[in-house]
Amino acid sequence: MGEGGTALPWHVIRQEANGNRYRVAACATRAEAQKVVESLGSRDQQHYWVERQPA
């Protein structure tokens, strides 16, 4: 949940070269999450993408 109890179902996920995955952001909309991914880009051997989490 975000501020005020709002659901943030869209998560930005990072995967490192060693296979570890981390949530780096939670967003209200897919478009917002995609903007985060675009701002991060691919750095070194880390990859970012958007996933929708179940409610």
pTM for the structure as a whole: 0.79
Burial class (CB in 10 A: 0-12, 13-18, 19+), 48: buried
| Rounded distance between C-alpha atoms, residue 31 and residue 28, angstroms | 9
Residue 22: predicted pLDDT: 96
Residue 37: predicted pLDDT: 93
Q: Determine contact, residues 32/38, Cβ cutoff 8 Å.
A: no
Residue 17: predicted pLDDT: 87
Segments of the chain with pLDDT less than 50: none
